[in-house]
Amino acid sequence: MDESVLRSLTPTVIGILVRRGADFAAAEDAVQDALVEAVRVWPADPPRDPKGWLITVAWRKFLDATRADAARRRREEIVEPDPGPAEVADDTLQLYFLCAHPSLTPASAVALTLRAVGGLTTRQIAQAYLVPEATMAQRISRAKRTVSGVRLNQPGDVGTVLRVLYLVFNEGYSGDVDLAAEAVRLTRQLAARVKHEEVAGLLALMLLHHARRPARTGADGRLVPLAEQDRGRWDTRLIAEGVDILQAALARDRLGEFQAQAAIAALHADARTAAETDWVQIVEWYDELLRLTDNPVARLNRAVALGEADGARAGLAALAGLDPGLPRYQAAAAYLHERAGEPATAARLYAEAARSAVNLAERDHLTRQAARLNARLRG
Protein backbone atom coordinates (compact mmCIF):
# COMPACT_ATOMS: atom_id res chain seq x y z
CA MET A 1 0.00 0.00 0.00
CA ASP A 2 1.34 3.43 -0.98
CA GLU A 3 1.18 5.67 2.09
CA SER A 4 1.61 8.76 -0.09
CA VAL A 5 -1.77 8.01 -1.73
CA LEU A 6 -3.48 8.13 1.66
CA ARG A 7 -1.73 11.35 2.62
CA SER A 8 -2.61 13.05 -0.66
CA LEU A 9 -6.30 12.18 -0.25
CA THR A 10 -6.58 13.31 3.37
CA PRO A 11 -7.34 17.04 2.87
CA THR A 12 -9.90 16.39 0.13
CA VAL A 13 -11.81 13.90 2.28
CA ILE A 14 -11.78 16.23 5.30
CA GLY A 15 -13.11 19.04 3.13
CA ILE A 16 -15.95 16.88 1.81
CA LEU A 17 -17.03 15.91 5.34
CA VAL A 18 -16.99 19.55 6.39
CA ARG A 19 -19.21 20.47 3.43
CA ARG A 20 -21.60 17.70 4.43
CA GLY A 21 -22.06 19.26 7.85
CA ALA A 22 -19.28 17.95 10.08
CA ASP A 23 -17.29 20.49 12.07
CA PHE A 24 -13.59 20.53 11.35
CA ALA A 25 -12.44 18.73 14.51
CA ALA A 26 -14.96 15.91 14.07
CA ALA A 27 -14.21 15.58 10.37
CA GLU A 28 -10.47 15.38 10.98
CA ASP A 29 -10.92 12.73 13.69
CA ALA A 30 -13.18 10.68 11.43
CA VAL A 31 -10.73 10.79 8.55
CA GLN A 32 -7.87 9.73 10.82
CA ASP A 33 -9.99 6.75 11.94
CA ALA A 34 -10.69 5.91 8.29
CA LEU A 35 -6.96 6.06 7.51
CA VAL A 36 -6.26 3.57 10.30
CA GLU A 37 -8.92 1.30 8.81
CA ALA A 38 -7.36 1.68 5.36
CA VAL A 39 -3.96 0.63 6.65
CA ARG A 40 -5.58 -2.48 8.10
CA VAL A 41 -7.81 -3.41 5.15
CA TRP A 42 -6.19 -2.21 1.92
CA PRO A 43 -3.15 -4.51 1.77
CA ALA A 44 -5.43 -7.56 1.48
CA ASP A 45 -8.39 -5.91 -0.27
CA PRO A 46 -7.40 -2.72 -2.13
CA PRO A 47 -10.39 -0.60 -3.24
CA ARG A 48 -11.01 0.27 -6.88
CA ASP A 49 -11.81 3.85 -5.84
CA PRO A 50 -9.55 4.77 -2.87
CA LYS A 51 -11.01 8.26 -2.54
CA GLY A 52 -14.60 7.04 -2.59
CA TRP A 53 -13.74 4.32 -0.05
CA LEU A 54 -12.18 6.87 2.33
CA ILE A 55 -15.13 9.24 2.00
CA THR A 56 -17.63 6.48 2.75
CA VAL A 57 -15.74 5.05 5.71
CA ALA A 58 -14.88 8.45 7.16
CA TRP A 59 -18.52 9.59 6.91
CA ARG A 60 -19.65 6.44 8.71
CA LYS A 61 -17.01 7.01 11.39
CA PHE A 62 -18.29 10.55 11.79
CA LEU A 63 -21.90 9.38 12.11
CA ASP A 64 -20.94 6.71 14.63
CA ALA A 65 -19.10 9.27 16.75
CA THR A 66 -21.98 11.72 16.49
CA ARG A 67 -24.58 9.18 17.52
CA ALA A 68 -22.44 8.13 20.49
CA ASP A 69 -22.31 11.69 21.74
CA ALA A 70 -25.34 12.34 23.89
CA ALA A 71 -24.93 16.10 23.52
CA ARG A 72 -25.37 15.77 19.79
CA ARG A 73 -28.24 13.31 19.55
CA ARG A 74 -30.20 15.69 17.40
CA ARG A 75 -27.72 15.04 14.64
CA GLU A 76 -28.77 11.39 14.45
CA GLU A 77 -31.20 12.41 11.75
CA ILE A 78 -28.38 13.18 9.33
CA VAL A 79 -29.07 11.02 6.31
CA GLU A 80 -26.12 8.96 5.18
CA PRO A 81 -25.62 9.47 1.45
CA ASP A 82 -25.18 6.53 -0.85
CA PRO A 83 -21.50 5.65 -1.37
CA GLY A 84 -21.66 6.23 -5.16
CA PRO A 85 -18.77 7.87 -7.03
CA ALA A 86 -16.40 10.12 -5.10
CA GLU A 87 -17.24 13.82 -5.10
CA VAL A 88 -15.20 15.88 -7.52
CA ALA A 89 -14.99 19.16 -5.57
CA ASP A 90 -11.59 19.83 -3.99
CA ASP A 91 -11.53 21.63 -0.65
CA THR A 92 -7.79 21.30 -0.07
CA LEU A 93 -7.16 25.00 -0.59
CA GLN A 94 -9.72 25.93 2.07
CA LEU A 95 -8.01 23.57 4.50
CA TYR A 96 -4.71 25.34 3.90
CA PHE A 97 -6.32 28.63 4.91
CA LEU A 98 -8.11 27.07 7.88
CA CYS A 99 -4.96 25.44 9.25
CA ALA A 100 -3.01 28.70 8.88
CA HIS A 101 -5.71 30.78 10.56
CA PRO A 102 -4.42 33.96 12.27
CA SER A 103 -5.97 32.86 15.59
CA LEU A 104 -3.45 30.00 15.82
CA THR A 105 0.11 30.25 17.08
CA PRO A 106 2.76 29.41 14.45
CA ALA A 107 3.56 26.11 16.20
CA SER A 108 -0.12 25.10 16.27
CA ALA A 109 -0.64 26.14 12.65
CA VAL A 110 2.31 24.02 11.55
CA ALA A 111 1.12 20.98 13.51
CA LEU A 112 -2.44 21.27 12.23
CA THR A 113 -1.26 21.71 8.64
CA LEU A 114 0.89 18.59 8.85
CA ARG A 115 -2.00 16.63 10.34
CA ALA A 116 -4.96 17.80 8.24
CA VAL A 117 -3.32 18.75 4.94
CA GLY A 118 -0.22 16.58 5.10
CA GLY A 119 -2.01 13.52 6.42
CA LEU A 120 0.68 12.74 9.01
CA THR A 121 -0.19 10.99 12.24
CA THR A 122 0.22 12.68 15.60
CA ARG A 123 3.07 10.28 16.38
CA GLN A 124 4.92 11.17 13.18
CA ILE A 125 4.58 14.90 13.84
CA ALA A 126 5.72 14.46 17.46
CA GLN A 127 8.77 12.48 16.36
CA ALA A 128 9.64 15.09 13.74
CA TYR A 129 9.52 17.87 16.36
CA LEU A 130 11.18 15.76 19.06
CA VAL A 131 8.35 16.21 21.57
CA PRO A 132 6.24 13.60 23.41
CA GLU A 133 3.25 12.32 21.46
CA ALA A 134 0.89 13.43 24.26
CA THR A 135 2.24 16.98 24.02
CA MET A 136 1.68 17.09 20.27
CA ALA A 137 -1.79 15.57 20.65
CA GLN A 138 -2.76 18.37 23.06
CA ARG A 139 -1.36 20.99 20.69
CA ILE A 140 -3.34 19.61 17.77
CA SER A 141 -6.53 19.24 19.84
CA ARG A 142 -6.34 22.86 20.98
CA ALA A 143 -5.76 24.00 17.42
CA LYS A 144 -8.75 22.02 16.13
CA ARG A 145 -10.99 23.49 18.83
CA THR A 146 -9.81 26.98 17.92
CA VAL A 147 -10.72 26.68 14.23
CA SER A 148 -13.80 24.47 14.51
CA GLY A 149 -16.14 27.45 14.53
CA VAL A 150 -14.33 29.35 11.77
CA ARG A 151 -16.34 29.86 8.59
CA LEU A 152 -14.33 30.03 5.40
CA ASN A 153 -16.69 32.36 3.56
CA GLN A 154 -13.99 34.86 2.62
CA PRO A 155 -10.73 34.48 0.69
CA GLY A 156 -7.91 33.27 2.93
CA ASP A 157 -4.56 34.95 3.41
CA VAL A 158 -2.06 33.29 1.09
CA GLY A 159 0.80 35.02 2.89
CA THR A 160 -0.09 33.34 6.19
CA VAL A 161 -0.25 29.92 4.51
CA LEU A 162 3.17 30.49 2.93
CA ARG A 163 4.73 31.48 6.24
CA VAL A 164 3.43 28.26 7.81
CA LEU A 165 4.85 26.16 4.97
CA TYR A 166 8.17 28.01 5.23
CA LEU A 167 8.28 27.19 8.96
CA VAL A 168 7.74 23.51 8.13
CA PHE A 169 10.56 23.59 5.56
CA ASN A 170 13.00 25.28 7.90
CA GLU A 171 12.51 22.62 10.55
CA GLY A 172 14.47 20.21 8.36
CA TYR A 173 13.89 16.60 9.28
CA SER A 174 14.10 14.08 12.11
CA GLY A 175 12.37 10.84 13.02
CA ASP A 176 10.75 9.03 10.11
CA VAL A 177 9.27 12.16 8.52
CA ASP A 178 11.40 14.42 6.34
CA LEU A 179 9.78 17.80 7.02
CA ALA A 180 11.74 19.59 4.31
CA ALA A 181 10.52 17.12 1.68
CA GLU A 182 7.01 17.28 3.16
CA ALA A 183 7.01 21.08 2.88
CA VAL A 184 8.06 20.82 -0.77
CA ARG A 185 5.24 18.33 -1.42
CA LEU A 186 2.63 20.56 0.24
CA THR A 187 3.86 23.68 -1.54
CA ARG A 188 3.71 21.87 -4.88
CA GLN A 189 0.15 20.92 -4.01
CA LEU A 190 -0.71 24.53 -3.19
CA ALA A 191 0.97 25.82 -6.36
CA ALA A 192 -1.18 23.46 -8.42
CA ARG A 193 -4.32 25.00 -6.93
CA VAL A 194 -3.56 28.71 -6.83
CA LYS A 195 -1.71 30.83 -9.36
CA HIS A 196 0.14 33.28 -7.16
CA GLU A 197 3.62 34.73 -7.70
CA GLU A 198 4.65 34.25 -4.09
CA VAL A 199 3.47 30.63 -4.00
CA ALA A 200 5.71 30.04 -7.01
CA GLY A 201 8.47 32.03 -5.32
CA LEU A 202 8.32 29.90 -2.18
CA LEU A 203 8.32 26.67 -4.18
CA ALA A 204 11.35 27.88 -6.16
CA LEU A 205 13.12 28.87 -2.94
CA MET A 206 12.48 25.47 -1.37
CA LEU A 207 13.68 23.59 -4.45
CA LEU A 208 16.86 25.64 -4.73
CA HIS A 209 17.72 25.13 -1.06
CA HIS A 210 16.70 21.47 -1.12
CA ALA A 211 18.99 20.90 -4.13
CA ARG A 212 22.03 21.67 -1.95
CA ARG A 213 21.03 19.32 0.84
CA PRO A 214 23.17 16.31 -0.18
CA ALA A 215 26.30 18.46 0.17
CA ARG A 216 25.42 20.10 3.49
CA THR A 217 26.95 17.35 5.62
CA GLY A 218 30.13 15.35 5.20
CA ALA A 219 30.53 11.57 5.45
CA ASP A 220 31.24 12.02 9.18
CA GLY A 221 27.99 13.96 9.67
CA ARG A 222 29.70 17.32 10.13
CA LEU A 223 28.11 20.51 8.79
CA VAL A 224 29.71 21.74 5.57
CA PRO A 225 29.45 25.53 4.96
CA LEU A 226 28.16 26.69 1.57
CA ALA A 227 31.59 27.90 0.41
CA GLU A 228 33.12 24.47 1.11
CA GLN A 229 30.38 22.27 -0.32
CA ASP A 230 31.05 19.84 -3.17
CA ARG A 231 28.84 21.45 -5.80
CA GLY A 232 28.94 18.29 -7.84
CA ARG A 233 26.61 16.80 -5.24
CA TRP A 234 23.96 19.48 -5.76
CA ASP A 235 20.79 18.25 -7.46
CA THR A 236 20.90 19.97 -10.85
CA ARG A 237 17.39 18.77 -11.74
CA LEU A 238 15.89 20.56 -8.74
CA ILE A 239 17.99 23.66 -9.45
CA ALA A 240 16.76 23.80 -13.06
CA GLU A 241 13.16 23.36 -11.95
CA GLY A 242 13.49 26.03 -9.26
CA VAL A 243 15.04 28.52 -11.67
CA ASP A 244 12.32 27.90 -14.28
CA ILE A 245 9.57 28.43 -11.70
CA LEU A 246 11.26 31.58 -10.39
CA GLN A 247 11.75 33.09 -13.85
CA ALA A 248 8.07 32.53 -14.68
CA ALA A 249 7.04 34.21 -11.41
CA LEU A 250 9.39 37.18 -11.88
CA ALA A 251 8.06 37.69 -15.41
CA ARG A 252 4.66 38.61 -13.90
CA ASP A 253 6.36 41.70 -12.38
CA ARG A 254 4.76 41.37 -8.94
CA LEU A 255 7.82 40.89 -6.77
CA GLY A 256 7.42 39.48 -3.27
CA GLU A 257 9.77 38.47 -0.48
CA PHE A 258 9.89 34.76 -1.37
CA GLN A 259 10.71 35.57 -4.99
CA ALA A 260 13.54 37.83 -3.83
CA GLN A 261 14.89 35.12 -1.52
CA ALA A 262 14.65 32.59 -4.35
CA ALA A 263 16.60 34.95 -6.63
CA ILE A 264 19.41 35.04 -4.06
CA ALA A 265 19.38 31.24 -3.82
CA ALA A 266 19.45 31.01 -7.64
CA LEU A 267 22.59 33.18 -7.79
CA HIS A 268 24.32 30.83 -5.34
CA ALA A 269 23.19 27.85 -7.41
CA ASP A 270 24.43 29.45 -10.62
CA ALA A 271 28.03 29.80 -9.38
CA ARG A 272 30.23 26.86 -10.37
CA THR A 273 32.56 27.65 -7.46
CA ALA A 274 32.25 29.79 -4.35
CA ALA A 275 34.76 32.25 -5.83
CA GLU A 276 32.50 32.81 -8.86
CA THR A 277 29.50 33.87 -6.76
CA ASP A 278 28.03 37.17 -7.96
CA TRP A 279 28.00 38.88 -4.55
CA VAL A 280 27.28 42.32 -5.99
CA GLN A 281 24.02 41.10 -7.49
CA ILE A 282 23.21 39.20 -4.28
CA VAL A 283 23.55 42.45 -2.30
CA GLU A 284 21.22 44.14 -4.80
CA TRP A 285 18.63 41.40 -4.28
CA TYR A 286 18.94 41.81 -0.50
CA ASP A 287 18.21 45.49 -1.03
CA GLU A 288 15.06 44.51 -2.96
CA LEU A 289 14.10 42.11 -0.17
CA LEU A 290 14.54 44.80 2.48
CA ARG A 291 12.33 47.17 0.49
CA LEU A 292 9.62 44.52 0.71
CA THR A 293 10.12 43.51 4.33
CA ASP A 294 12.44 45.19 6.82
CA ASN A 295 13.52 41.85 8.27
CA PRO A 296 16.49 42.03 10.68
CA VAL A 297 17.68 38.55 9.63
CA ALA A 298 17.74 39.73 6.01
CA ARG A 299 19.81 42.72 7.13
CA LEU A 300 22.23 40.33 8.86
CA ASN A 301 22.57 38.23 5.71
CA ARG A 302 23.02 41.37 3.62
CA ALA A 303 25.90 42.45 5.87
CA VAL A 304 27.68 39.15 5.23
CA ALA A 305 27.03 39.45 1.47
CA LEU A 306 28.31 43.03 1.53
CA GLY A 307 31.44 41.77 3.26
CA GLU A 308 31.99 39.42 0.34
CA ALA A 309 31.22 42.06 -2.30
CA ASP A 310 33.00 45.11 -0.84
CA GLY A 311 35.34 43.68 1.77
CA ALA A 312 35.06 42.52 5.37
CA ARG A 313 35.24 46.06 6.80
CA ALA A 314 32.15 47.08 4.82
CA GLY A 315 30.34 44.01 6.15
CA LEU A 316 31.33 44.78 9.74
CA ALA A 317 30.15 48.37 9.35
CA ALA A 318 26.73 47.12 8.18
CA LEU A 319 26.64 44.60 11.02
CA ALA A 320 27.38 47.29 13.63
CA GLY A 321 23.92 48.78 13.23
CA LEU A 322 22.13 45.53 14.04
CA ASP A 323 20.98 43.97 17.32
CA PRO A 324 23.68 41.58 18.67
CA GLY A 325 20.86 39.42 20.00
CA LEU A 326 19.84 38.37 16.49
CA PRO A 327 20.16 34.64 15.76
CA ARG A 328 23.61 33.87 14.29
CA TYR A 329 24.83 37.43 14.82
CA GLN A 330 28.00 36.24 16.57
CA ALA A 331 28.67 33.65 13.85
CA ALA A 332 28.38 36.32 11.14
CA ALA A 333 30.59 38.71 13.10
CA ALA A 334 33.16 35.97 13.67
CA TYR A 335 33.31 35.18 9.97
CA LEU A 336 33.74 38.82 9.00
CA HIS A 337 36.38 39.48 11.68
CA GLU A 338 38.35 36.48 10.44
CA ARG A 339 38.10 37.81 6.88
CA ALA A 340 39.33 41.17 8.20
CA GLY A 341 42.47 39.54 9.64
CA GLU A 342 41.41 39.51 13.32
CA PRO A 343 41.66 35.82 14.32
CA ALA A 344 41.59 36.40 18.11
CA THR A 345 38.32 38.33 17.95
CA ALA A 346 36.92 35.80 15.48
CA ALA A 347 37.83 32.86 17.74
CA ARG A 348 36.09 34.47 20.71
CA LEU A 349 32.96 35.19 18.68
CA TYR A 350 32.87 31.68 17.21
CA ALA A 351 32.94 30.28 20.77
CA GLU A 352 30.11 32.63 21.80
CA ALA A 353 28.11 31.61 18.73
CA ALA A 354 28.59 27.93 19.55
CA ARG A 355 27.09 28.40 23.00
CA SER A 356 23.88 29.82 21.50
CA ALA A 357 23.67 27.48 18.49
CA VAL A 358 20.22 26.07 17.80
CA ASN A 359 21.33 22.50 16.99
CA LEU A 360 24.20 20.14 17.68
CA ALA A 361 25.59 20.13 14.12
CA GLU A 362 25.85 23.91 14.09
CA ARG A 363 27.34 23.98 17.60
CA ASP A 364 29.95 21.41 16.60
CA HIS A 365 30.87 23.39 13.46
CA LEU A 366 31.25 26.69 15.33
CA THR A 367 33.26 25.05 18.11
CA ARG A 368 35.65 23.61 15.52
CA GLN A 369 36.00 27.01 13.89
CA ALA A 370 36.99 28.54 17.24
CA ALA A 371 39.42 25.67 17.94
CA ARG A 372 40.99 26.05 14.49
CA LEU A 373 41.71 29.74 15.05
CA ASN A 374 42.94 29.22 18.62
CA ALA A 375 45.35 26.54 17.40
CA ARG A 376 46.66 28.96 14.76
CA LEU A 377 47.14 31.68 17.40
CA ARG A 378 49.06 29.32 19.67
CA GLY A 379 51.26 28.15 16.77
The b/e string for 162-174 (b: 16+ C-beta within 10 A; e otherwise) is: bbbbbbbbebeee
Q: For residues 347 and 266, what is the distance between their CA atoms, to the nearest angstrom?
A: 31
Give the C-alpha separation, 130 to 196, whole Å.
33
- Between 79-88, 134-143, 215-224, 234-243, the lowest mean confidence (pLDDT) is in 79-88
Q: Which residue has the higher pLDDT, 283 or 171?
A: 283
**Residues contacting residue 253 through CB under 8 Å, at least 6 positions apart:** none
pLDDT of 55-66, one tens digit each?
999 999 888 888
- 1 — pLDDT class (breaks 50, 70, 90): low
Digit-coded pLDDT (tens) for 362-378: 999 999 999 999 999 99
Distance CA 346, CA 362 (A): 16
| CA 98/CA 109 separation, integer angstroms | 9
Report how far residue 379's alpha carbon sits from residue 375's, in angstroms, rounded to the nearest whole number.
6
- 3-class DSSP state for residue 162? helix
- Please report which residue ranges of the chain form alpha helices under DSSP H: 3-20, 24-41, 50-68, 92-99, 106-112, 122-128, 133-147, 158-170, 179-193, 197-211, 236-250, 257-270, 279-292, 296-310, 312-319, 329-339, 343-355, 360-378
Q: What region, left, alpha or beta, does residue 21 occupy, with left being phi > 0 and alpha being psi -120 to 50 degrees? A: left
Of 131 and 207, the structure prediction assigns the larger pLDDT to 207
Residues 134-160: tens digit of each pLDDT: 999 999 999 988 888 776 655 567 888
Over 90: is that where the pLDDT of 11 sits? no
